[in-house]
Chains A and B, each alone.
Chain A
Amino acid sequence: MKTLRNVVEACKGQARIFEAVIASVVVFLAFSTASYLIYASESILAQEAVDLNRLSYNVLHRIVESGVIEETVEEDLQNGVSHLKIVVQGLLPAGVYFNLTIYNCTGSLTQPYSGSLNIGNAPTGVFAESEEVISTSTMYTSKRGNIYYLVLKLTRV
């Protein structure tokens, strides 16, 4: 015959089982949610950066292959920079902010970056605030023998 003590002991055992079950569910949910949030966002950013990187090299390649630097920066000193901005804008898809810096490395070896110019279409602070900004660069020697170091930064709107 069961005593009152036995019944109380049995209830304590069931309560422990319930505690364990609830704890397991909570731990499982916590891990699942955390892993989902972490891996999914990382993956998205990685793919976007890969594409921007390739796009950036594509644009840099086109700028140097088409002789754009010669015809804008070297030929037309007055309006060359604004024309260069239109050209770069035309080579990029809509919804991409860019910042192109061209360092003139010709001449002095002790001060290689003697002159630089900067063009872009991004509002102030966009690159600082954006989660994914890529930067690519290339060296280029123009037909006149000037050496340029081009740095193109891109981010999506």
Chain B
Amino acid sequence: MHSYEYIFTAVIASAILTASSTIAGIISQPSINVSEGERVKIVAQKIVTQLTLNPGNPPEWGSAVKISPEDLTAFGLAKYGEATRGTYVLDPDKVQRLDANIPQYLYIPPNVAVKLLGLGVEYGLKLEFIPVLDVNISLRSGGVYIAVSSDQSMLPIVNAKVVARLFYLHDGGVETDLKNGTTDINGNCDIGFDRVDSDALLVIVVDYYGICVVKTYTLNCIRAYFIGNQLILNEQLTITGSKAYQVVVVKSGETYVIDYVQCNLTQTSPLTYDVTYVEPSAIALLAVADDGTTLVAAYKDVPSSYGSTPRGTLPFTAYMLERTVMIGGSLYTLRIYVWRVIL
């Protein structure tokens, strides 16, 4: 070979190397995109497992109101119990603390949750809590209409057992009215109540062959919060007799029962009261305030959504996962969206 042939060979080899790297970049781009999509899926699966099966740390962070977002070292929503632990059972207090409407010192901001889940700023996260059965309550004169439909198909749920209990203010105390019914072929159930126009809390349990949804509805009540063993007021009120009623939903045999127990309150600050003992299945707390003229209703509310993006603005690349979870006796579909944020 002559010297110009060596030079030519070197030029060709350089060209091959350059072309190879370019071609490799072009070809592997879809592969990179796929692997990023796969990474999002893996991340989503890890998050859903963490949220539904791990109580977080400290494990009782939901009910211990003294634990602030800064005190959390791990984030999980599973219910924590010393003796028992249910799978896919979430703590209603932890879920409540994801609601932006609660007092701000209790609220866990999404950026804290995202950070504790190890996502950093690279990923976006959104949670949705959707009741498995859609229960709509509308008032009528002397009663309520309850419409039950399937969450997905919106088809009416026929033959579901409905238990409704109205807690209302009467003569400075709390009275109750308990009614039962079954949904008809249109998924409707009409239940009559005499005192539906007064200050009242309505608790409804819909049971469709083991699938249970608990719903609360307030009428002219003062809204408060029931987190852990605390009654947290929005405004300063004087609780009459420092007593309250805990509303509990329990399954007795094959049917659900809505019951209540009286408990004592101890004022710890102008807006907070400690409840002496909290029933494990308590879903609401009722107290009479201002010398029997006002009914205060505190119930455990589940936010419809929580996440690092405003409602309805999800990127199309978001990956979605669903799990069925139990929150405070009700079945919910927990929907998780995870996506990669383009920085």
Given contacts A25-B16, A47-B38, A91-B324, contact A14 B210 (CB under 8 A): no
Which B residues from 314 to 340 make CB contacts under 8 A with A? 321-324, 326, 331, 333
Which residues from chain A contact B31 at a C-beta distance below 8 Å? 36, 39-40
Q: Does A111 reach chain B (CB closer than 8 Å)?
A: no
CA distance A43 to B31 in the complex (A): 11
Which residues from chain B contact A132 at a C-beta distance below 8 Å? none
Which residues from chain A contact B220 at a C-beta distance below 8 Å? none
User: Which one of A33, A39, A86 contacts B27 once the chains associate, using CB atoms below 8 Å?
Assistant: A33
Closest 10 CB pairs of A and B: A66-B210, A68-B210, A93-B322, A71-B209, A67-B210, A47-B41, A40-B34, A32-B27, A62-B324, A72-B209
Question: Scoring B residues 238 to 254 as 1 if CB is less than 8 Å from chain A, else 0, what string do you get?
Answer: 00000000000000001
17 other A-B residue contacts (CB within 8 Å) besides A13-B1, A55-B322, A71-B209:
A10-B2, A18-B12, A21-B16, A25-B19, A32-B27, A40-B31, A44-B34, A47-B45, A51-B41, A62-B331, A70-B254, A83-B208, A83-B209, A87-B208, A90-B132, A93-B322, A93-B333
Question: Scoring A residues 7 to 20 as 1 if CB is less than 8 Å from chain B, else 0, what string do you get?
Answer: 00010011001100
Which residues from chain A contact B281 at a C-beta distance below 8 Å? none
Closest approach, in angstroms, between the C-beta of A127 and any C-beta of chain B? 21
Which residues from chain B contact A75 at a C-beta distance below 8 Å? 254
Closest approach, in angstroms, between the C-beta of A34 and any C-beta of chain B? 11
Residue contact A70 to B12, C-beta cutoff 8 Å: no
Closest approach, in angstroms, between the C-beta of B314 and any C-beta of chain A? 16
Which residues from chain B contact A61 at a C-beta distance below 8 Å? 87-88
- Size of the A side of the interface (Cβ < 8 Å), in residues, is 46
Closest approach, in angstroms, between the C-beta of A93 and any C-beta of chain B? 4
Which B residues from 46 to 89 make CB contacts under 8 A with A? 48-49, 86-88
Chain B binding surface, main DSSP class:
mixed
Closest approach, in angstroms, between the C-beta of A70 and any C-beta of chain B? 7
Q: Does A152 reach chain B (CB closer than 8 Å)?
A: no
Central interface residue in B88, B150, B324, by most chain A CB within 10 Å: B324
Question: Interface of B with A (CB < 8 Å)?
Answer: 1-2, 5, 8-9, 12, 16, 19-20, 23-24, 27-28, 30-31, 34-35, 37-38, 41-42, 45, 48-49, 86-88, 132-133, 150-153, 155, 157, 159, 208-212, 254, 321-324, 326, 331, 333
Closest approach, in angstroms, between the C-beta of A57 and any C-beta of chain B? 9
Which residues from chain A contact B5 at a C-beta distance below 8 Å? 10, 13-14
Q: Does A50 reach chain B (CB closer than 8 Å)?
A: yes
Residue contact B1 to A70, C-beta cutoff 8 Å: no
Given contacts A32-B23, A32-B27, contact A17 B210 (CB under 8 A): no
CA distance A68 to B41 in the complex (A): 31
Which A residues from 47 to 98 make CB contacts under 8 A with B? 47, 50-51, 54-55, 58-59, 61-63, 65-68, 70-72, 75-76, 79, 83-84, 86-87, 89-91, 93-94
Residue contact A14 to B8, C-beta cutoff 8 Å: yes
Which residues from chain B contact A86 at a C-beta distance below 8 Å? 150, 155, 157, 208
Residue contact B324 to A59, C-beta cutoff 8 Å: yes
Residue contact B211 to A87, C-beta cutoff 8 Å: yes
Closest approach, in angstroms, between the C-beta of A105 and any C-beta of chain B? 21
User: Which one of A13, A25, A66 contacts B331 once the chains associate, using CB atoms below 8 Å?
Assistant: A66
